[in-house]
Structure 1
Amino acid sequence: MIEFFHALFDPNSSFLRLALAAGTLASVSFGIMGTYVVTRRIGYLAGAIAHCVFGGIGAALYLKHRWGLFWLDPMYGALASAIVAAIIIGLVSMKAGEREDSIIGALWAVGMAAGLIFIDLTPGYFELSSYLFGDILLISQRDIILVAGLDLVIIVLAVMFHPTFLSICFDEEFATLRGINTPFFYILLLIMTAITVVLLVRLVGVIMVIAMLTLPAAAASTLSRRLSVIMVLATCFALFFNWSGLALSYTLDLSAGPVIISVAGLVYLGLLALTRMLPNR
């Protein structure tokens, strides 16, 4: 750990400082949206959106290298595909009834398949592991700006519509009776989840995105039942998971994304076991 802190202040280790900044900024969105996702129990929808993101990444790489759109960052494709997937999955989940899981499973698989097909059609070689498993150490200043912008969108929307999201998460039928346009706000919630998924893909990758979206909030929910408190605690947990995972991965020379997820999983399981042993839980 001491080695990590020495490296953090090394003038030649700007990549570590950028990674830490990205993890810090993204933790705010993880704490807010993770709480909504865990409370509303839509983790499987977030997983489907995450895998559809890979299709957007593949399409962006194809357009960039085949058609010369060199300004087109893969994360722009990820953001566009995530929002489209959120809208489609939201409509499907509201209209499909019993076939919801089959349709969403199909979208999940098609999103990944489309991304791989686009990459196969793209000239050159691409290292897919950074998209599948993340690589926070490759964060650039441009990525920091994108993360900060997406973060701002999440915070503004959460502040504006928190009472409405609260109603939808706990009692959608009652929210409808109160005159709230629940389909619109449900899809808006999924779009916000999609934006958070894009933040996660850069840090921990498509494969592990569900874990980082749910584990901080799940860990926080073992300590409190109030949604506002859970959001604050989840943000703090996300910060801790990012910082400690990054420090451990650098010290042990391991991939940052899997280490961050491992720390999150161990902390959550530890808290779950501890609270089960305590009285009146």
Structure 2
Amino acid sequence: MAKPKTKRQPANAPSRLADSTAYFCGQWIKRAEIGLSVDDIGFLQGVTAVERMRTYSRNVFELPLHLKRFCHTACHLGIDSLPDEARFTELVSELLTRNAVMVQEQGDVGITLFATPGRAGSPSPTISLHLNSLDFELIDRRMREGQPLIITDVTQQPDQTWPRSLKVRSRLHYYLADQFASRFATDAAGVLVDQDGTITETSLANLAIVEAGEIISPLAEQVLAGVTQQVIEMIAIKQSIPWRKERIDVERFHSAHEVLCMGTTTGIWFASQINDGEARTPGRVYERLRDRFANDSPDV
């Protein structure tokens, strides 16, 4: 099992990223050359299945779970003629191999996979796989100091629009929530609410509260099924920390002993403040989960 590490990026990381090799519609090209046609349905109507992944110690974190979710999303959106999970696994491996020097220099990298139905009238989907740099200073700061959360009145879309189990690029609601939150603190994340006003998630994180040593997170149907949360749940079981799922109202969220944040880029971190409430420090449950995640996170 890989131990998550954070290594500082070199000063020229952004320029190296532009020169990195990416997969686009069956070809290996420079990342900077990726271009989505204005006639692509992904641009015209925002129909895009996406997965954002990362490496820990140069191993892709929970790749099978990410690919399973990606294929579920693509299938629901009707994006056909995609490679199967085995082929995507090969492409991810080749992506890292082709960019081995940059990966070695940066230590760890982010990976983005996306697909659209392609151009209107075309039978071929648009597929891309490319690297992203990781902001290790921000990651370290969030793990040490937490992140402010601002509860907004931006609501999640109903399942009749599209199920929340899908990871798509239609993220206007997340953007609006974060824009609202940024008025209060630069690094704040906006918390979206459900139709009944209960807490759901942020643009980058699944959320959970801690009450008397027990973890409570929103119902599965209220949020995207986060890969990192699934791993944290398994760690909690091994640590004999109770975990249940139910609707969480705003008042309960405010008064929780701890608020946990879980997402791909940072792993696990905590809420340092909720709205204009008192500043929060790392809690005992968070520290236990963070330490076990750092030592026991599965890799592939």
Q: Give me the TM-score of the superposition, normalised by structure 1.
A: 0.30
Larger proportion of strand: 2
Higher relative contact order (CA 8 A, sep 6+): 1
Q: Give me the TM-score of the superposition, normalised by structure 2.
A: 0.29
Larger proportion of helix: 1
